[in-house]
Amino acid sequence: MYIIVIILPLVGSLISGFGGRWLGRYGTSILSTTFVGVSFFLAILIFYETGLCGTTCYISLTSWINAETLSVKWGFLFDSLTGVMLVVITSISTLVHLYSISYMESDPHSPRFMAYLEIFTFFMLILVTADNMLQMFLGWEGVGLASYLLINFWFTRLAANQSAIKALVINRIGDFGLSIGIFTIFYLFSSVEYLAIFSISPFFQNYYLILLGYEVNCITLVGILLFVGAVGKSAQLGLHTWLPDAMEGPTPVSALIHAATMVTAGVFLMIRFSPLIEYSTTILTILTIVGSLTTFFAAMTGAFQNDLKRVIAYSTCSQLGYMVFACGLSCYNVSLFHLTNHAFFKALLFLSAGSVIHALSDEQDMRKMGSLIRFLPVTYSLMLIGSLALAGFPFLTGFYSKDFILEISQISTNANLKEVSGNIACWLGSISVFFTAFYSFRLIYLTFINNANSNRMFVNSIHESNWIILTPLFLLALGSIFIGYTAKDLFIGFGTNFWGTSIFNLPIRSIQIEAEFLEAKLKWLPFFLSIFGILIATTLNIGVRNFHKGIIFYSFFAFLANKKWYWDLIYNRFITYPLLVFGYKVSFKNLDRGFIEILGPFGLSNLITTCANITKQLQTGQITHYLFFMILGVCFFLIWANFSSYLFSSVVLYLVLLFFI
């Protein structure tokens, strides 16, 4: 059963990929959805066994690599962390599969799409179930590859190609850090298996490596390298630029990759390595600061985007920032709780957005929507549920995880634990709550409530989607409402032993209890901030519309945020183009085709030709010149013959005479 969960999507992918020609569109769709669905039910059973019954399961298949101390096995580790991830991945994946049956109905390459979706699910499952870093890296790279294939699904579009390449390349930067991290871990621990690494990591707490003349704590070093990988995959500030551009793929892809699974891999890595990074305060500080900056940046940028999917993409980026800084504050279980909840309401938002886009004949610009509340009441209510959950409305899913993360960040500011990084996280996180509510409801207003801005042609053809599209939305809406409340006590309740040994928390950094005893006003703060955001959005869209046209500050601000704070511009101008220019001018033109060729074949043959031409010019045809060279040659041989004799000086004298005559 444990292996079947992982193997089923692979088998389904192979069948629908290679046999799609014979199975047909509906055949592959139904087959792949069934396979992933079975996988989901088995994942629930695994969740029950590993999580609720607390039986950690460890399966070791054959050996993979055996070389001296490096011995890697095909092994699978199922603990409660893996169980939760399995349920999240397979459930979202099943619903996305179901959704795509109808959404991709008119696409000519539907079997290929299903195969990609399934291979993506398979690699994600490999990633979360691996028991060693190498196998995890296989899943990690496979997920990146599958994301490339999926974003590039409509491969005839230039923008899709560019986005896919961008996603893959930026992910590779993070993967590079992760692979160096794996090498470092093998160098330090002589093993790449989780169990070995985690059991001996406390002994490396005060172990220092000399790196470039500096003493570096090895746990910090490893943590930073792993975090570089997480930054790439989870789109944290610095390597986040691929995530909004990855919206070029079909909407179900965005829901699967950029909401629920792929981007959570980085956070999962941090949670999985909690027994290691917990021993280094430095890396936790870095996590907190980078995570909170990401939260703030993405929330603010998302508030000024005009593309429906891009707003949701930035909100994903922002919520990932919340998860990462929750890890940095050592509350890994809260982070995972938010990950779970976020998967549900973000998938709901993305799929609802897909429904809206589908209804509007593939129009994505929010400025060309409006008043869809009359036409799409079901989609509207579902999207409202998703937005309220995202904004942390009380008793919806987002409330239980996001507000708890904010309460945890409040501790370092307002309790006795004074911590600078926590303070930053608290401020930026709280401001982001306001922005989150603002852009969620800006989206709702622009899409559904404001006056219609689209063409009459489109308005005439607006229709509610069919039940295959709406069923996943209903199920996700149920999840968005109830998951948080249901799973709260299990995931982050007082003294819950759900996590067992899968998450490690140093007692000195265990601060969750403090969060329960905050002042009432601090607990109310996030709620008031979101209400404030909703009010501002309402005022701007209903009350004083277009008031901002005359304010220069607003336009500048919106310009900055709409252009994503010029991150892409700066990257292109100062990193990408100089590197491309370097690659063309220096390494291609000057080295490969220049220096090496001149020293090598081209230069040598050229030299020989030149010498031959010079020598050829000696043969002028003039008899006197020939005579000159003859006499010169005779003189030369005379010198040669008499080199050491006593006649040498007199011969030289004659020769010199000859020369100057």
**Residues found near another protein in the complex (CB under 8 A):** 616-624, 627-628, 631, 654, 657-658, 661
What's the min distance (Å) between Cβ of 628 and another protein?
7
What's the min distance (Å) between Cβ of 622 and another protein?
6
Q: Tell me whether residue 598 or residue 627 sits nearer to another protein (CB atom).
A: 627
Paired residues of 73 in beta bridges: 63
Q: Tell me whether residue 373 or residue 635 sits nearer to another protein (CB atom).
A: 635
Q: Tell me whether residue 4 or residue 612 sits nearer to another protein (CB atom).
A: 612
Is the Cα torsion angle 115, 118, 124, 128 positive or negative in sign?
negative
What's the min distance (Å) between Cβ of 633 and another protein?
14
Three-class DSSP category at 287: helix
Q: Tell me whether residue 187 or residue 659 sits nearer to another protein (CB atom).
A: 659
Tally of CB atoms within 10 A around 161? 15
Asked if residues 438 and 303 have their Cβ atoms less than 8 Å apart, the reply is yes
Tally of CB atoms within 10 A around 634? 12
CA distance 338 to 316: 12
Q: Tell me whether residue 3 or residue 612 sits nearer to another protein (CB atom).
A: 612
**Residue 446 to residues 369, 376, 380, 443, 455: CA-CA distances in angstroms?**
7, 14, 12, 5, 15
Q: Which of 225, 332, 343, 227 is nearest to 290 (CA)?
A: 227
**Residue 444 to residues 272, 361, 447, 561, 595: CA-CA distances in angstroms?**
36, 19, 5, 19, 61
The residues near 38 (Cβ < 8 Å, ≥ 6 apart) are: 8
What's the min distance (Å) between Cβ of 609 and another protein?
15
Q: Tell me whether residue 546 or residue 613 sits nearer to another protein (CB atom).
A: 613
Q: Tell me whether residue 395 or residue 626 sits nearer to another protein (CB atom).
A: 626
List helix spans (H) across 190-257.
Answer: 194-200, 218-233, 242-245, 251-255
What's the min distance (Å) between Cβ of 606 and another protein?
20
Q: Are strands 208-211 and 57-67 parallel, antiparallel or unpaired?
A: unpaired
Q: Tell me whether residue 57 or residue 655 sits nearer to another protein (CB atom).
A: 655
Type of residue numbered 291: G
- At 322, list the tokens: 């919340």
CA distance 191 to 197: 7
Tally of CB atoms within 10 A around 568? 15
What's the min distance (Å) between Cβ of 620 and another protein?
6
What's the min distance (Å) between Cβ of 619 and another protein?
2
Q: Which of 417, 418, 399 is nearest to 513 (CA)?
A: 417
What's the min distance (Å) between Cβ of 616 and another protein?
5
The residues near 491 (Cβ < 8 Å, ≥ 6 apart) are: 84, 333, 334, 336, 337, 340, 498
Q: Tell me whether residue 556 or residue 654 sits nearer to another protein (CB atom).
A: 654
Q: Tell me whether residue 155 or residue 628 sits nearer to another protein (CB atom).
A: 628
CA distance 612 to 439: 77
Paired residues of 59 in beta bridges: 76
What's the min distance (Å) between Cβ of 623 and another protein?
6
DSSP state letter for 450 = S
Burial class of residue 608 (count of CB atoms within 10 Å of its CB; 0-12, 13-18, 19+): exposed
Q: Tell me whether residue 584 or residue 628 sits nearer to another protein (CB atom).
A: 628
Q: Tell me whether residue 106 or residue 624 sits nearer to another protein (CB atom).
A: 624
Type of residue numbered 163: S
List helix spans (H) across 415-466.
Answer: 420-444, 456-460
What's the min distance (Å) between Cβ of 660 and another protein?
11
What's the min distance (Å) between Cβ of 637 and another protein?
16
What's the min distance (Å) between Cβ of 624 and another protein?
6
CA distance 222 to 210: 14
